[in-house]
Amino acid sequence: MILIDRALQQREEENKPIRVGMIGAGFMGRMIAFQIGTSVTGMRMVAIANRHVEKAKEAYALAGIHDVQEVSELDELEDAILKGRCAVTENPLLLSRAENIDVLIEVTGTINYAVYPILEAIQHNKHVILMNAELDATLGPILKTFADKKRVVYTNADGDQPGVEMNLYRFVKGTGIRPVLAGNVKGLYDPHRTPETQAAFAKQWGQNPRMVTSFADGTKVSFEQAVVANATGMSIAKRGMLGFTVPSGMEIREAFKIYPADVLLKGNGIVDYLVAAEPGAGVFIIGHETHPLQRKYLELYKLGKGPFYCFYAPYHLCHFEIPNSVARTVIFHDAAATPMGAPQVDVVATAKRDLRKGEMLDGIGCFMTYGQCEKAEITYSEQLLPMGIAEGCVLNRDITKDAVLTYRDVTLPENSMSVELRRQQDQSFFSGQKDMETASLKERSRHSEEERYWEVYHFGAGNRDSQVMP
């Protein structure tokens, strides 16, 4: 991006590279490490945390970095960074607390496992970049509140669809044209796909079958578009979004015309997606302009007669673009995509098959539920179950296929950190209890922070006392 290249070059010349820590060394994490390690000046990946530390070492090795120190204590990590050695650990809290790390990238795609290191990073005045739409859509507004109090940046990432959409949104808005739709493009949508149906594709690309399933069943695009809605103030046209499937090969610049004008012009506009439009990896913004003089020039510039105009980016390049987020965050204190306040759109858990009383829900990208967008105020007023906290819930009654679950339908996991934070988010923005002055990022349990975190780490259900924050 403009300015970033020169700013990073200056950091390199001054021998003050941005020191990056990363949680997660999976499919995307290892390529972020490769990108920063081989192609970016003025920036260093100084530490990687992963549940299996060998994967973190492999990520460094892929980038040609073999002088790596495994650490288990904070002072060991700090010493390694000061000596210029890359560090790996299975304890992500070390990265959150290290003074010699400027910014944390979270790229696990998890919620329970990821949330505590993020809270710790914020508490220790560290910027946080998420390549984790699942967590951001579920708990982003409350996490942004805590980050604001610490005056650090909390943001989703360039390269992932929400970040690319937001860059395009800001561009269109900056021209004076009103953005009325922020759109995503998908090649497939089938809410009943499972890890079994997606196993071959996942194996072909070396990806996690659960993650691939969340792409196919619509859960991922729902989380992504909820992130964009929460960053722009946009809403949705209906539960699940419109999600038009267009004739194969139809270009975005033509496909967008299927949206009804009254839907686009209502309120702050909507987020949505198209299936089968080209370019297949793109995102798009529909803008609205009524001034005759502006429309005349937009027609001259080959954007059509209006009053609706389509702007699109034909690709999102994931790990290639992550360094832009790092530089924007640390040098310019600029967020690619961050909640603007109260949540606008949520993602609610929906039965993928007939479910039976007593069953335990298996979570994102699995066999039992898929996620679809709903207006946040409806999620709260109807007590719908957020997809991001559905895993581990036990059903209190039978649920029919494609029915949306509610809190009344389930028993929530005991002592879940994510459930506790979600409760606080709902209270803060919807129940009138908006006084956040007593909010604290410090642990208040009689148990140690380490003990509480490892319960999440190993078992996916949070702390014993559910008192992460007031």
Interatomic CA distance for residues 212 and 220, integer angstroms:
9
- What are the tens digits of pLDDT across the range 245-295? 999 889 998 988 999 999 999 999 999 999 999 988 889 999 999 999 999
Q: The pTM is what? A: 0.91
Q: Determine what percent of the chain is predicted with pLDDT higher than 70.
A: 91
Q: How many helices (H) and strands (E) does the chain have?
A: 18, 16
Contact residues for 143 (Cβ-Cβ < 8 A; gap 6+): 115, 118, 119, 122, 128, 136, 154, 421
What residues does each domain of the chain span?
Answer: 4-160+322-332, 161-315, 345-434
Instruction: Report the CATH number of the 345-434 domain.
Output: 3.90.1210.10
Distance linking the first and last C-alpha atoms of the chain: 40
Residue appearing with tokens 């949540």: 343
Q: Which two tokens stand for residue 411?
A: 């028993």
Interatomic CA distance for residues 68 and 71, integer angstroms:
10
Report CA-CA distances (Å) from 38 to 41, 60, 75: 9, 10, 27
Q: Which two tokens stand for residue 200?
A: 């071959």
pLDDT number for residue 203: 87
Low-confidence ranges of the chain (pLDDT < 50): 433-450, 452-470
Per CATH, the architecture of 4-160+322-332 is what? 3-Layer(aba) Sandwich (3.40)
**Residue 436: half-sphere exposure toward Cβ, Cα within 13 Å:** 19
Interatomic CA distance for residues 214 and 162, integer angstroms:
16
pLDDT number for residue 418: 94
Q: Name the percent of the chain in helix, strand, coil, to the closest 5.
A: 40, 20, 40
